[in-house]
Structure 1
Amino acid sequence: MNTNSVNQSSVLSQSEGSKQNYVLPFILIVCLFFLWGMAHNLDSILIPHLKKACQLNNRQSTLIDTSIFLAYFLMAIPAGMMLRKFGYKASMIIGLLVFAMGAFLFIPAANTLSYSIFLIALFIIGCGLTVLETAANPYAAILGKPEGATTRLNLAASFNGLAAMVAPIIGANFILSGKEYTAAQLADMPKSEKMSYLFSEAAAVKTPYLVLGIIVILVAVLFYFIHFPEIKPSKEEKAKTGFFAVLKHRHLRWAVIAQFFYVGAQVCVTSFFIRMAQQGAGLDEKSAAYYLTIYGFLFMAGRFVGTFFLKYTTPRKLLSLYAVLAALMCLLAVTTQGIFVIYALGIIGFLMSIMFPTIFSLGITNLGEETKPGSSWLIMSIVGGAILPYLMGTVIDYNGDNIQIGYLIPFFCFIIILFFGWKRSEVGVKS
Structure 2
Amino acid sequence: MTMSKTAPKTNMVPLAIIGALFFIFGFVTWQNGALVPYLQMVCQLSETEALLVASAFYFAYTAMALPSAMILEKLGYKNGMAIGLLGLVVGFLIYIPAAMSQEFVIFLIAQFVIGSGLTLLQTAANPYVVKVGPVESAAVRIMFMGLLNKGAGFLAPIVFTAVVLGDFAGVSAVSIAAMAEPEKSDTITALSNGLINPYLGMAIAFIVLALLLKLSPLPELSSNDDEVEAVGDTSAAEKRTSIMQFPSLILGAVTIFVYVGAEVIAGDTIGLFASNLGVANATSLTSYTMAFMLIGYGLGIVLIPRFVGQETALKASAVSGLIFSLLVVFGDSTSTTVSSMLWGWMGVPLLPDTIAFIALLGFANALVWPAVWPLALEGLGKFTAKGSALLIMGISGGALLPLVYGVLSETIGGQAAYAMMLPLYIYILFYAIKGHKIKQW
Normalised by the length of structure 1, the TM-score is 0.84
- Is it true that 1:121 corresponds to 2:110 in the alignment? yes
Q: Deviations over 1:248-289 (max 9, x none)?
A: 44333223211111111111112210233456xx66221x44
**Do the aligned partners of 1:161 and 1:353 also contact (CA within 8 Å) in 2?**
no
| Count of residue pairs brought into register by the alignment | 406
Separation in 1 of the partners of 2:293 and 2:143?
12
**Do the aligned partners of 1:298 and 1:346 also contact (CA within 8 Å) in 2?**
yes
Determine which of 91, 98, 118 is the counterpart of 1:102: 91
TM alignment of 1:52-131, pairs within 5 A: 52-131=41-120
Separation in 1 of the partners of 2:378 and 2:19?
21
The residue number in structure 2 matching 1:219 is 209
Residue 425 of structure 1 aligns to a residue in which SS?
A: helix
**Consecutive unaligned residues in structure 1, runs of 5 or more:** 1-9, 238-243
Separation in 2 of the partners of 1:67 and 1:291?
21
- Is it true that 1:410 corresponds to 2:401 in the alignment? no
**Do the aligned partners of 1:102 and 1:124 also contact (CA within 8 Å) in 2?**
yes
**Do the aligned partners of 2:78 and 2:220 also contact (CA within 8 Å) in 1?**
no
Separation in 1 of the partners of 2:214 and 2:360?
39
TM alignment of 1:149-228, pairs within 5 A: 149-176=138-165, 177=168, 178-180=170-172, 185-186=178-179, 188-190=180-182, 193-225=183-215, 226-228=217-219
Separation in 1 of the partners of 2:133 and 2:436?
23
- Is it true that 1:271 corresponds to 2:284 in the alignment? no
The residue number in structure 2 matching 1:7 is none
The residue number in structure 1 matching 2:29 is 40
Identical pairs, percent: 30
Distance change (3 Å), C-alpha of 1:407 and 1:293: same
Separation in 2 of the partners of 1:197 and 1:206?
15
Over the aligned positions, Cα root-mean-square deviation in angstroms equals 2.8
Task: Kindly state the Cα deviation for residue 336 of structure 1 after the two structures are TM-superposed.
Answer: 1.0
Distance change (3 Å), C-alpha of 1:201 and 1:184: closer
Separation in 1 of the partners of 2:381 and 2:199?
39
The residue number in structure 2 matching 1:30 is 19
Residue 111 of structure 1 aligns to a residue in which SS?
A: helix
Distance change (3 Å), C-alpha of 1:363 and 1:331: same
**Do the aligned partners of 1:133 and 1:379 also contact (CA within 8 Å) in 2?**
no
- Is it true that 1:316 corresponds to 2:308 in the alignment? no
Q: Deviations over 1:6-63 (max 9, x none)?
A: xxxx4446775x9x63332222222222112112211111111111111111111111
TM alignment of 1:284-363, pairs within 5 A: 284-286=279-281, 288-312=282-306, 313-337=308-332, 338-339=335-336, 340-363=353-376
Task: Kindly state the Cα deviation for residue 167 of structure 1 after the two structures are TM-superposed.
Answer: 0.9
Normalised by the length of structure 2, the TM-score is 0.83
Looking at both structures, which has the greater relative contact order when contacts are Cα pairs under 8 Å and sequence separation is at least 6? 1
**Do the aligned partners of 2:266 and 2:289 also contact (CA within 8 Å) in 1?**
no
**Consecutive unaligned residues in structure 2, runs of 5 or more:** 229-240, 337-352
Residue 21 of structure 1 aligns to a residue in which SS?
A: coil
Distance change (3 Å), C-alpha of 1:115 and 1:29: same
Task: Kindly state the Cα deviation for residue 365 of structure 1 after the two structures are TM-superposed.
Answer: 5.2
**Do the aligned partners of 1:272 and 1:403 also contact (CA within 8 Å) in 2?**
no
